Amino acid sequence: MAFFEHHGIDDKEVFHVSHLQNFDFPLHFHHAYELIIVNEGQLTVTIDQRKYTMNQNDVAFVFNNQMHGFQTVKQSDISIVIFSPEIIGHFFMNYKGVIPENNVMHIDHLPNLSELDSIYQQKGFLYQLCGQLVNQTEFIPVEYSTKTKVLHKILFYVGKHFSTDCTLKKIAKELQYDYAYISKLFVQMMNMTFTEYLNHYRISQACYLLRNSPQSITEIAFNCGYDNLRTFNRNFKKVTNQSPTTYRELS
């Protein structure tokens, strides 16, 4: 289960809320819009290589296909809202092909997201945010370099295949790029190797499952692309400084 990746591709009027504590997630992108809402604590958010420091009641409005990731600063309690472009169709059509100069805004009074149980309440909340975003920032045309387009393809492949035998050599063959070229490009643009990124991505997915699913640790390891529990445990501790068991107990 890639909980960030595939919303808004096939489904219409999706509005999916996740609540996360002390959570990090590496750079990724998807075809849905995403809200990152800080309820408590502090978060560093990266959107298209621009870094924002977010505090309580700050909201990052991430447009579809913007590359983004986030990292907790000491402690954080956040809500993630994934919603399809169709749910705000009028805004989507008017702002298609552009992105905000500033994706982050402050909201004085945020609603209880769990109480937005009808499509009309959800649309009302989202259009209110759209209105504030339009009032506070300019919009610029989307311009992706060739390297960025290649990176998007790599990250999209990881989002679809991280639970299988996912290697950069397979991606190079699938995308018909020279392996040495995309290996060097990945390090240049991500400041880490593909193996490091893939491991971080898989462990982030595992953290989410440990907090939010009844699956056993062995099942989670397998569903996140590890066929060896010892390797999973070692990599999990390397990323989180905790064992999977301890992480689940403290969640």
pLDDT of residue 6: 45
Q: Does domain 146-250 have CATH number 1.10.10.60?
A: yes
pLDDT of residue 65: 86
Asked whether 129 and 123 are in contact (CB, 8 A), the reply is: no
- Per-block mean pLDDT, blocks of 10 residues, the chain (251 long): 44 84 90 95 94 97 93 94 94 95 95 93 97 97 88 92 95 95 94 95 94 94 95 94 92 74
Q: Does domain 15-141 have CATH number 3.10.110.10?
A: no
| Residue boundaries of the structural domains of the chain | 15-141, 146-250
pLDDT of residue 1: 33
pLDDT of residue 11: 54
List Cα–Cα distances, 163 to 143, 158, 215, 227, 244, in angstroms. 31, 9, 15, 10, 17
Global confidence as pTM: 0.86
